[in-house]
Structure 1
Amino acid sequence: MKLTTSLLSLALAAVGQAYSSGSASASATSFYPVKTAGLNETVYEELEIYKPQVFIINMFSYEAEPFLEEFKLVHNVSIPGLSPIYPEIHCNHNYSLCEVITGEGEINAATTITALSLNPTFDLTDTYFLIAGIAGISPLEGTLGDVTFARFAVQILEYEVDAREMPSNWSTGYFSYGTTNSTQYPTEIYGTEVFEVNENLRDRALELAQSVDLLNGTKANEEFRIKYDYAPANRTPAAIACDTLTSDNYWFGKDFDEAFANYTDLLTNGTGTYCTTQQEDNATLEALMRAAQYGLVDFSRIVVMRSASDFTYADFYANETVYFFTEVSQGGSKVAVENLVVAGKPFIEDVLYNWDLYENGTVYAPSNYIGDFFGSLEDTTYREWGFDVSA
């Protein structure tokens, strides 16, 4: 279907129709105006509206393919604004479950999710979102093949001093905007530094993931884990609760790991526990946040799931020549994507099979603050972390 009106006008014209359409798993029909070549001539074209109960958000094809196969996502839906590499949304037979691939990096994630949330082809007002991707993991918090469920997503937005020019009494060259050292809370705020999602829903998804056995991976995975002489790095994979860090840069190193763990602790006022590092989640959450402000999505229905494909540093190489992570044969990406499906499937099926419980959003309604730094979803600026931006 070719859309010839502007995306925003189309959204405003048709999304209202979507609110009153049929069941969440079925498609409905609405109509939207399309200007023809003739002067002052308007025709109305039929528009299918889909109301998925669950939307999987992957970042690239390697993460997406196991979900495509497991859930038989047989329908392909094209809408404007998706990644040129991944121009289609995939859905199951009755459109109750769909999957979008954003493309890697913050810009791709924000653009794709914005396009999805504004397009009237989908009514996402009652949809549950499962962000499902691979990530690096701190050996102090997890191991290869772990599946993590986050309450907080923190973005690295900081000053950076060249380590060669860093004052000798500094432990890191990173420090927050508007400050003079790494121990101070930022005073210049962009608003995407930290997001908090529904802890009760997170805990439900975690509980379900912990009820299944995760895959252990290859013999090489086992051998690599035991090179670390401490847990949790050397244990077998598990589903765990801990928080995620967003940066467009790939980084590695023990000092960075410590610095960003401290940064996560700082920005969440001691509430968050950093464990994974990835490139998209704050961008995805910002796009969903803006959509939620206009009632297009429900921000309380988001689960952030990341599985561990590699470690953020390998301290057993400390006495050798610098050993970059690109040269370490960890081989953890295969077990990471496999465990995404193993751990995510129970939550997906729980929503689909028990939609009567999930539909109104009260069973696992949040009891914690949810949203961004600005308190965008509340009438008050109160939050458990940060400071009052109205002060």
Structure 2
Amino acid sequence: MKQSSAERDSPRSLDVLILPAFAAEDFALPDDEDAPSELDYWVDAYDFEREVRVPGANAPVYVTDHGVGVTPTGMGKVEAATTLTALLAAPELDLSDAYFVTAGVAGAPPNVATLGAVFLADAVVDWDLKHRWSDGGGPGADETRPIDLLKYRPRDYVYRLNDDLVESALNVAEGVELAADEEASAYCQRYDEATARSSPFVGVGATVCGDEFWHGRALAEQVEWLVERYDAGVYVTSEMEDFGTASALARFGALDRYLSVRGVVNFDRPAPGETPRESMDDGGLALELGLENAFRVASGIVDHLASRSA
């Protein structure tokens, strides 16, 4: 469809902007190995008629004729914050009333999740801004805990999301049928926790964002401590982008229109009898199941938000 000069020059108004982290081209893999993509599910299911290129963003924004857009932010907090800042400041886009929906994958504790479960975040906690001690912290410190809150922090590094929006999204999510996978289910039986052994479900809780892919029980206990100190509830997922996304949205006054939807692809600690390295090398990455269920839930939410904005 040919656009008029006025259409080309006017900003593209969006009702919902979907924010997966990565597309297949973001990875450098051997020729015989297929790269994963959080973007492809959306491209395959929606009619994105146009693309908007924004300087500073990780990729073009693909848009429908009905006010829905999608763009991969790039992996990690820096990529996510840089992309969102570029998009929010871009004259090519009008995001003044848009909802923002992260749709991607995450790790999770086996006592609160199973592979293929999907969680909506009600809080986003940063994992990286803190003290870490190599010797237990010195005299007077809790020598059993090698981390502490950053002493000179200007604020707690946690964003609390819009409760009403999260509740509305949860009402939609609970009506979505989730996929199951026999191989993932069999893997979950290695764990003692009843929740880990359950079928995929939808839940709500805090997500913890960090730039390292950590794995192991000791680290998970530190994450749990940090989330409790911030009074952010129970952490249910760990990922790499959401604090960067939330930081940019907060700077532009748009945090109250943000949702994070994450499908669980791995547990954040090994099963009994395994080392952390054995756990990651031996499996436990239910990528296709997590991607599929995250898309099912997030697309239901996106359609609901788009119809509400129409």
TM-score by length of 1: 0.70
Q: What is residue 67 of structure 2 aligned with on the other side?
A: 96
Please give the per-residue CA displacement for 1:162-199, whole angstroms capped at 9, x wherever unaligned: 37998896332111112xxxxxxxxx215471101101
Question: 50, 53, 62: which is aligned to 2:15?
Answer: 53
1:355 aligns with 2:309: yes
Bigger radius of gyration: 1
Q: What is residue 162 of structure 1 aligned with on the other side?
A: 134
Question: 147, 158, 176: which is aligned to 1:212?
Answer: 176
Give the length in aligned residue pairs. Answer: 292
Question: 203, 206, 225: which is aligned to 1:262?
Answer: 225
CA distance in 1, matches of 2:258, 2:138: 40
Residues 353 and 132 from structure 1, CA distance in 2 versus in 1: closer, same or farther, beyond 3 angstroms? same
CA distance in 1, matches of 2:264, 2:61: 25
1:279 aligns with 2:252: no
Q: Aligned AA for 1:304?
A: S
Q: Aligned AA for 2:170?
A: L
1:1-391 superposed matches below 5 A: 29=6, 47-61=9-23, 62-83=37-58, 87-92=59-64, 94-156=65-127, 157-162=129-134, 170-178=143-151, 188-191=152-155, 193-217=157-181, 219-268=182-231, 271-292=232-253, 298-318=254-274, 323-355=277-309
CA contact (8 A) 1:151 1:198 kept: yes
Residues 121 and 191 from structure 1, CA distance in 2 versus in 1: closer, same or farther, beyond 3 angstroms? farther
CA shift for structure 1 position 325: 4.0
| Ranges of 4+ aligned residues in structure 1 off by more than 6 Å | 163-169
Q: Which has the higher contact order (CA 8 A, sep 6+)?
A: 2
Q: What is residue 27 of structure 2 aligned with on the other side?
A: none
Residues 80 and 201 from structure 1, CA distance in 2 versus in 1: closer, same or farther, beyond 3 angstroms? same
RMSD: 2.2
Q: Aligned AA for 1:244?
A: T
CA contact (8 A) 1:54 1:348 kept: yes
CA contact (8 A) 1:192 1:282 kept: no
Please give the per-residue CA displacement for 1:98-141, whole angstroms capped at 9, x wherever unaligned: 01111101111111100000001111111011111111101111
SS in 2 for 1:134: strand
CA shift for structure 1 position 255: 1.4
CA distance in 2, matches of 1:51, 1:79: 14
CA distance in 2, matches of 1:263, 1:334: 30
CA contact (8 A) 1:155 1:192 kept: no
Structure 2 unaligned segments of length 5 or more: list them. 24-36
TM-score by length of 2: 0.88
CA distance in 1, matches of 2:5, 2:69: 16
Q: Aligned AA for 1:51?
A: S
